[in-house]
Structure 1
Amino acid sequence: MSNWSAPTPDGPVTGTVSVPGSKSVTNRALLLAALSGGDARVTGAPATRDTALMTGALSALGAVADTDGETVRFAAHDGLRGGSGDRPAEVDCGLAGTVMRFVPPAAATATGTTRFDGDPWARKRPMGTVLGALRELGARIDGTTDADALPFVQSGGPVRGGEVTIDASASSQFVSGLLLSGALFERGVTVHHDGKPLPSLPHIAMTVAMLRTAGVTVHDDEPNTWRVEPGPVAARDWAVEPDLSNASVFLAAAAVTGGRVTVRDWPAETTQPGVDVLPVLERFGATVTRSADGLTVTGPDRLSGVDVDLHDAGELAPTVAAIAALAGDTSRLRGIGHIRGHETDRLAAIANEITALGGSVTETEDGLVIEPKPLTGRADRPWGAYADHRMATAGAIIGLVVPGVLVDDVGCTAKTIPDFPGRWAALLGTPGNG
Structure 2
Amino acid sequence: MAPNDAHTALWPAPHASGAVDATVHVPGSKSVTNRALVLAALASEPGWLRRPLRSRDTLLMAGALRAMGVGIEETVSSSSSAASAPNGSGEAWRILPAGLQGPATVDVGNAGTVMRFLPPVAALADGPVRFDGDPRSYERPLNGVIDALRVLGARIDDDGRGALPLTVHGGGALDGGPVSIDASSSSQFVSALLLSGPRFNQGVEVRHIGASLPSMPHIRMTVDMLRAVGAQVDTPESGGEPNVWRVTPGALLGRDLTVEPDLSNAQPFLAAALVTGGKVLIPDWPARTTQPGDRLREIFTEMGGSCELTDYGLVFTGSGAVHGIDVDLGDVGELTPGIAAVAALADSPSTLRGVAHLRLHETDRLAALTKEINELGGDVTETADGLHIRPRPLHGGTFHTYEDHRMATAGAIIGLAVEGVLIENVATTAKTLPDFPELWTGMLGA
TM-score by length of 1: 0.95
Counterpart contact for 2:338–2:406, Cα < 8 Å: yes
TM-superposition CA deviations, 1:336-392 (whole Å, max 9, x none): 1111111111000110100010000010011000001110012xxx21111010000
Q: Secondary structure at the match of 1:112?
A: strand
Matched, 1:80 2:100: yes
How much does 1:147 deviate? Answer: 3.2
Q: Which residue is 2:209 aligned to?
A: 194
Q: Which residue of the other structure, out of 19, 30, 44, is the alignment partner of 1:23?
A: 30
Q: Which residue is 1:106 aligned to?
A: 121
How much does 1:76 deviate? Answer: 4.3
- Are the structure 2 counterparts of residues 109 and 76 from structure 1 closer, same or farther at C-alpha, using a change threshold of 3 Å? closer
For 1:268 and 1:310, locate their aligned partners in 2 and report how far apart those are by CA, in whole Å: 22
Runs of 4+ in 1 over 3 A off after TM superposition: none
Paired AA for residue 411 in structure 1:
A
Q: Which residue is 1:86 aligned to?
A: none
Q: What pairs with 1:358-369 in structure 2 (closer than 5 Å)?
A: 358-369=377-388
Q: What pairs with 1:45-194 in structure 2 (closer than 5 Å)?
A: 45-69=52-76, 70-77=91-98, 79-83=99-103, 89-144=104-159, 146-157=160-171, 158-194=173-209
TM-superposition CA deviations, 1:241-265 (whole Å, max 9, x none): 0000001111010001111111000
For 2:208 and 2:382, locate their aligned partners in 1 and report how far apart those are by CA, in whole Å: 27
Q: Secondary structure at the match of 1:244?
A: coil
Q: Which residue of the other structure, out of 253, 258, 274, is the alignment partner of 1:234?
A: 253
TM-superposition CA deviations, 1:317-350 (whole Å, max 9, x none): 0010000000011000010111111111100011
Q: Which residue is 1:321 aligned to?
A: 340
Q: Which residue is 1:395 aligned to?
A: 411
Paired AA for residue 96 in structure 2:
A
For 2:424 and 2:189, locate their aligned partners in 1 and report how far apart those are by CA, in whole Å: 31
For 1:218 and 1:302, locate their aligned partners in 2 and report how far apart those are by CA, in whole Å: 45
How much does 1:37 deviate? Answer: 4.2
Q: Which residue of the other structure, out of 299, 303, 314, is the alignment partner of 2:322?
A: 303
For 2:200 and 2:242, locate their aligned partners in 1 and report how far apart those are by CA, in whole Å: 23
Counterpart contact for 2:44–2:251, Cα < 8 Å: no
For 1:211 and 1:397, locate their aligned partners in 2 and report how far apart those are by CA, in whole Å: 36
Q: Secondary structure at the match of 1:368?
A: strand
Paired AA for residue 338 in structure 1:
H
Q: Which moved more, 1:412-421 or 1:293-302?
A: 293-302
How much does 1:291 deviate? Answer: 2.1
Counterpart contact for 2:287–2:309, Cα < 8 Å: no
Q: Which moved more, 1:122-131 or 1:65-74?
A: 65-74
Q: What pairs with 1:212-361 in structure 2 (closer than 5 Å)?
A: 212-220=227-235, 221-361=240-380
- 5+ residue gaps, structure 1, are 84-88
How much does 1:285 deviate? Answer: 1.0
TM-superposition CA deviations, 1:9-53 (whole Å, max 9, x none): 210111111110000000000110011142111111111101100
Q: Which residue of the other structure, out of 410, 423, 427, is the alignment partner of 2:439?
A: 423
For 1:63 and 1:171, locate their aligned partners in 2 and report how far apart those are by CA, in whole Å: 27
TM-score by length of 2: 0.93
For 1:9 and 1:285, locate their aligned partners in 2 and report how far apart those are by CA, in whole Å: 18
TM-superposition CA deviations, 1:380-416 (whole Å, max 9, x none): xx21111010000000000000010001110010011
For 1:173 and 1:150, locate their aligned partners in 2 and report how far apart those are by CA, in whole Å: 16
For 2:219 and 2:123, locate their aligned partners in 1 and report how far apart those are by CA, in whole Å: 21
Matched, 1:405 2:405: no
Q: Which residue is 2:10 aligned to?
A: 3
How much does 1:224 deviate? Answer: 0.4
Matched, 1:383 2:404: no
TM-superposition CA deviations, 1:94-148 (whole Å, max 9, x none): 011000000000110111000001111011001011100001110000015x430
Matched, 1:35 2:42: yes
How much does 1:234 deviate? Answer: 1.2
Q: What's the RMSD between the two structures over aligned residues?
A: 1.0
Aligned residues: 420
